[in-house]
Structure 1
C-alpha cells in the first residue's frame, strides 16, 4: 500500500513539473526615446548557445514614432538576452564604421558596454514571470 501511495505521489509531482515546464510567457519589449523616426527595428531574443548568431525569435517593425512596443509570445521560462538595432539605410544589417563600432543605433538588455562587444553575462536576464517587460533606449 505504501508503494502505491509513493507511486501516486511521484506521478502527481512529475505531471505538475511537466505542466509548469510547458507554461508559456509573453515578453514585451518597449522602446523609448527613439531619436530617428525612420528605418526598421530588428529585434532578436537569444539564448546563450547562439548568442548574437541565431535568435530563437526575431521580429522587425517599421519606426514611425519615438516609442514602440512589440510582444514575443509563447516563450519558455529561461535565461535570455534581447538585442535590437535600427536599420536606417534599409540594407537589413547593422552597419559599422572602419574600426568596427556600430554606425546605426542599437541596444541590448542588461548592461552592455557601448564601447565593447556585448558579453552574455552583461546582457542576460531571467525570464521567470508570466509577462515580462524589457525597456530599451535606442
Structure 2
C-alpha cells in the first residue's frame, strides 16, 4: 500500500512540475556574427543577485549564414537579463587577456555596451506571456 501511495505522489509531483514549466513562454535570441568558428553561448539571468554569476538557463547558438540563433523555453513572466559571448575556440568558457580584458566578443540584452562588466540595470528587460525575439549585437 505504501508503494502505491508513494508512486501516486511521485506521478502527481511530476505532472505538477510539467504543468508549471509548460506555462512559460520563449525568448529567441539572434546574434549577427561574421565568423563561422565556434558557437555563441548565451545565459539568461532572473535577478540582479544572480546576474553574471548563476544563469537560470543557458543555450548554445550554432553559427549559420552570418548569425547564431538559440531559444530559451519555459520562461516565466518576470524581469530577466541576457549575456552572451562568441566561444571562438569551443572551450565553453570566456577567455581573458592577462590584464582582464575579454579575448572573445560579448554582448548584453538591450545592446548597452560600456567599459567594464555588464550591469543588471542596463541589461534587464520584462518578459510577459508573449514570445520574445531579441537581436543582441557583440
TM-score normalised by structure 1 residue count = 0.76
Unaligned runs of 5+ in 1: 1-21
Aligned to 1:113: 113
Structure 1 CA distance, aligned partners of 2:56 and 2:137?
A: 22
Aligned to 2:92: 92
Superposed CA RMSD in Å reads: 1.9
TM-score normalised by structure 2 residue count = 0.76
Aligned to 1:132: 132
- 1:121 is paired with a residue of what secondary structure? helix
- 1:43 is paired with a residue of what secondary structure? strand
Aligned to 2:42: 43
Unaligned runs of 5+ in 2: 1-21
Query: Is the 1:24–1:130 contact (alpha carbons within 8 Å) kept by the matching residues of 2?
Result: no
Query: Is the 1:38–1:64 contact (alpha carbons within 8 Å) kept by the matching residues of 2?
Result: no
Structure 1 CA distance, aligned partners of 2:93 and 2:118?
A: 17
Aligned to 1:102: 102
Aligned to 1:122: 122
**Does structure 1 residue 55 correspond to structure 2 residue 55?**
yes
- In structure 2, relative to structure 1, the CA distance for the partners of 1:111 and 1:30 (3 Å cut) is closer
Structure 2 CA distance, aligned partners of 1:61 and 1:132?
A: 16
Shift of 1:111: 4.3
Shift of 1:31: 1.3
Aligned to 1:14: none
Aligned to 1:29: 29
Structure 1 CA distance, aligned partners of 2:61 and 2:133?
A: 17
Aligned to 1:16: none
- In structure 2, relative to structure 1, the CA distance for the partners of 1:110 and 1:61 (3 Å cut) is closer
- 1:122 is paired with a residue of what secondary structure? helix
